Structure 1
Amino acid sequence: MTWLAAALRTLRGNWVELAVIIAVTMFIPSFVPLWVFAILLSLLAVALVAQIVRQYRQTRQNRENQS
């Protein structure tokens, strides 16, 4: 399984989190500075990439254990 498949599986499993992120970004208060929003969005992106990598490694390890 490639990293892309792991990414798609991670996104499919976290549809509720993605819906919350989209809802929050649509209703950001005007008094929140743009740099604060950029930092939060960057942290979310890093967390998502880390989860994708973790899922990929777990899948690869499971495949090696079955062999």
Structure 2
Amino acid sequence: MFFLAHIGPPAALFQLRSFDVPLMIFVSGLSYSGRQVVGYASFVRKRLGRLLIPLYFFLTVYFLVM
């Protein structure tokens, strides 16, 4: 939903969108606060797997549909 802000959304959606970055920072801080990082390489490998796999899935579906 927040990607719609880049195409000139209605005012209500724009107001909601202006809150998304602080909310994402807050939630990411909460989710990270209880975890122990064993090593930087391990952390990056796990994080990239959690971020890139859904991204590639979304982009594949998006470009197939478009």
Same fold by TM-score, threshold 0.5 exceeded? Answer: no
* TM-score normalised by length of structure 1: 0.41
Greater relative contact order (Cα < 8 A, sep 6+):
1
* TM-score normalised by length of structure 2: 0.41
